[in-house]
């Protein structure tokens, strides 16, 4: 089958394209920005790429057009698909129907930690010899790509609550036919498509309604927003990750003890069983991610000892506190922070790890929710663990950033002055965390080049 994908260079759609090619389909695609690293991955998979959305790319007619959720009415290719009555569907629908049917799907959902938890779970299953398939919204460092078919009956998917397509406003995860669902946490996000938290909770409840009675829903009871979702109805077995007091509360089915201040060591517990982990990640939020991954792996027969051993060899995820430059005095991290909670937990984890060493946070509010200023009142407090903060206000920021952040935190609207100020700060050494869920106009690479 010839499948043509519109919007192919996004993380999800690019990963989907690679899975389709691995399944034996002839895959082509287009996007308005075709550039590495996704373009490189796609070309290596033998997928032909087209820059732009000229309708001529739809000739000869493909057997199926998969339309990404970034495309809408008015796009030339979308209009051509409708006018020519071509067969089309969303990416999540195709994934669910063509690849996930019949699989034991382990879906990881939540506002924060989806990519890391899905990567941890996939690595645990890999180390246990289960050869899982997976689709993750990032590239786990233990693997070379963001998706693969796998050779067994298990498939791990990062289950995003974002909408499926312009013609299907259901969240992606309702298509995934999950058997085991991890609900990490829930806060208001995606202000471009959801009016309030209640609207997101409704989609999470729709997700829960698709899980069989013999399936499992793993969740932290301390999260009140998720508790409200489960109160709407849950027909599957519930697995509590910690108790009402958090992940270290032994009233849950799974919990942790002996957590190091920086999260670099902890003990996983279930009943009388335990496994001690020492690893390279930091922060209590990553301890919570590890707990969820180990508990999910146990649902398919992986032992606690196997999970503990795998976690100790986990190498992280690209763009999640990824070290992109290091000198004798300075370390630079690239991080995907997209929300005040993510900013705060990441910086707190680093502070616990480095003690009194200097920390500079350089932040671009880039997600739709951040650009709209929905969480503007929380931005200033989210950076409390850093010694210094610099903000990059791109042209799409649609609120008064200066009124939201601390007076001593400078705001830059062009990249070069920001880069120069960072270099000046780095002269005295310390840790620099670049935080954006976009490309930050190439700042990580430019800063690394300047420092070295």
pLDDT digits (tens, 9 = 90+) for 137-187: 877 888 888 899 999 899 999 999 999 999 999 999 999 999 999 999 898
Q: What is the pLDDT of residues 380-431, one digit of tens each?
A: 778 888 999 998 887 777 667 777 777 888 888 888 999 999 999 999 999 9
Token pair in block for residue 445? 């690479």
Place of tokens 């690209």: 318
Strand partners, 171: 163
**Closest of 2, 158, 167, 156 to residue 68, by C-alpha:** 167
Question: 311 with 433: CB under 8 angstroms?
Answer: no
Q: Where are the beta strands (DSSP E) in 87-150?
A: 88-90, 104-109, 133-135, 147-148
The contacts of residue 124 (CB under 8 Å, 6+ apart) are 293, 294, 297, 302, 306, 307, 310, 311
Question: 336 with 138: CB under 8 angstroms?
Answer: yes
Helices 443-451 and 415-426: crossing angle in degrees, nearest 10, is 40
pLDDT of residue 5: 97
Q: Where are the beta strands (DSSP E) in 283-441?
A: 322-326, 330-335, 359-363, 388-392, 411-412, 430-435
Average pLDDT over residues 302-307: 97
SS3 content of the chain, % helix, strand, coil (to 5): 35, 25, 40
At residue 338 the predicted structure's pLDDT band, cuts being 50, 70 and 90, is: low
CA dist 11 and 112 (Å) reads: 17
pLDDT of residue 381: 79
Average pLDDT over residues 418-447: 88
- CA 264 to chain centroid, in Å, comes to 21
At residue 376 the predicted structure's pLDDT band, cuts being 50, 70 and 90, is: low
Whether 370 has a pLDDT exceeding 70, the answer reads no
pLDDT of residue 368: 61
3-state secondary structure of 436: coil
3-state secondary structure of 35: coil
pLDDT of residue 371: 58
3-state secondary structure of 183: strand
CA dist 117 and 114 (Å) reads: 5
Whether 124 has a pLDDT exceeding 60, the answer reads yes
DSSP state of 445: H
Q: What is the pLDDT of residues 70-82, one digit of tens each?
A: 999 999 999 999 9
Q: Domains in the chain, ordered, with CATH?
A: 2-86 (3.40.50.720), 94-311 (3.40.1190.10), 322-451 (3.90.190.20)
CA dist 103 and 397 (Å) reads: 42
Which range is least confidently modeled, 10-24, 226-240, 376-390, 420-434? 376-390
Strand partners, 219: 240
CA dist 270 and 253 (Å) reads: 6
Place of tokens 């929300």: 339
CA dist 333 and 335 (Å) reads: 6
Q: Is 2 among the annotated ligand-binding positions?
A: no
How far apart, in Å, are the Cα atoms of 102 and each of 96, 105, 121, 298, 310?
A: 10, 9, 20, 20, 27
Q: Is 349 among the annotated ligand-binding positions?
A: no
Whether 366 has a pLDDT exceeding 80, the answer reads no
pLDDT of residue 172: 96
Q: Is 116 among the annotated ligand-binding positions?
A: yes
Question: 253 with 295: CB under 8 angstroms?
Answer: yes
Buried b (16+ CB within 10 A) or exposed e, 148-168: bbbeeebbbbbbbbbbbbbeb
At residue 62 the predicted structure's pLDDT band, cuts being 50, 70 and 90, is: very high
3-state secondary structure of 421: helix
Q: Is 341 among the annotated ligand-binding positions?
A: no
Q: Is 144 among the annotated ligand-binding positions?
A: no
Alpha-carbon Rg of the chain, whole angstroms? 22
CA dist 162 and 164 (Å) reads: 7
DSSP state of 175: G
Please tell me the total number of residues recorded for the chain in this structure.
452
3-state secondary structure of 30: strand
At residue 273 the predicted structure's pLDDT band, cuts being 50, 70 and 90, is: very high
3-state secondary structure of 384: coil
Q: Where are the beta strands (DSSP E) in 20-167?
A: 26-31, 48-51, 64-67, 88-90, 104-109, 133-135, 147-148, 154-158, 163-165
Place of tokens 């796009």: 75
Nearest-5° Cα angle at 44, 39 to 48: 65
CA dist 343 and 351 (Å) reads: 12
What pTM did the predictor assign? 0.84
Q: Is 113 among the annotated ligand-binding positions?
A: yes
Helices vs. strands in the chain: H and E counts, helices first: 15, 23
**Closest of 63, 28, 64 to residue 47, by C-alpha:** 28
Q: Is 115 among the annotated ligand-binding positions?
A: yes
């Amino acid at each position: 089958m010839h499948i043509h994908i519109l919007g192919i260079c996004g993380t999800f759609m690019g990963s989907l394209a690679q899975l389709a090619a691995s399944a034996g389909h002839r895959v082509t695609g287009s996007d308005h920005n075709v550039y590495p690293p996704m373009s490189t991955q796609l070309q290596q998979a033998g997928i032909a790429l087209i820059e732009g959305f000229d309708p001529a790319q739809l000739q000869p007619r493909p057997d199926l057009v998969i339309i990404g959720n970034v495309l809408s009415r008015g796009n030339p290719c979308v209009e051509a698909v409708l006018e020519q009555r071509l067969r089309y569907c969303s990416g999540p629908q195709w994934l669910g129907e063509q690849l996930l049917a019949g699989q034991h799907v382990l879906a990881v959902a939540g506002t924060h930690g989806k990519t890391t938890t899905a990567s941890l779970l996939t690595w645990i299953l890999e180390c246990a010899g289960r050869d899982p398939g997976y689709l993750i919204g990032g590239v786990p460092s233990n693997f070379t790509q963001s998706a693969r078919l796998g050779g067994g009956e298990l498939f791990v998917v990062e289950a995003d609550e974002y909408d499926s397509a312009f013609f299907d406003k259901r969240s992606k995860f309702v298509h995934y036919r999950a058997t085991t669902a991890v609900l990490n946490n829930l806060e208001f996000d995606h202000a471009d498509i959801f009016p309030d938290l209640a609207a997101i909770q409704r989609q999470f409840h729709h997700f829960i309604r698709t899980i069989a009675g013999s399936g499992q829903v793993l969740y932290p009871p301390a999260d009140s927003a998720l508790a409200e979702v489960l109160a709407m109805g849950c027909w599957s077995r519930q697995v509590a990750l910690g108790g009402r007091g958090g992940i270290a509360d032994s009233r849950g089915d799974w919990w942790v003890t002996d957590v190091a201040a920086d999260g670099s060591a902890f003990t996983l517990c279930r009943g009388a069983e335990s496994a001690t982990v020492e690893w390279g990640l930091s922060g209590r939020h990553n301890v919570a991610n590890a707990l969820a991954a180990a508990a999910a792996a146990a649902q398919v027969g992986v032992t606690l000892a196997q999970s503990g051993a795998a976690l100790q060899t986990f190498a992280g995820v690209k763009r999640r506190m990824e070290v992109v430059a290091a000198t004798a005095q300075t370390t630079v991290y690239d991080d995907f922070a997209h929300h005040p909670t993510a900013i705060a937990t990441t910086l707190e984890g680093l502070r616990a790890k480095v003690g009194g060493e200097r920390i500079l946070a350089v932040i671009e509010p880039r997600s739709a929710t951040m650009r709209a200023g929905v969480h503007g009142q929380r931005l200033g407090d989210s950076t409390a663990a850093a010694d210094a903060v610099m903000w990059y206000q791109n042209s799409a920021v649609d609120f008064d950033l200066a009124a939201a952040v601390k007076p001593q935190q400078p705001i830059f609207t062009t990249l070069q002055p920001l880069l120069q100020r960072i270099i000046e700060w780095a002269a005295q050494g310390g840790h620099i965390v670049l935080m954006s869920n976009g490309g930050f106009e190439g700042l990580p690479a430019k800063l690394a080049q300047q420092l070295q």
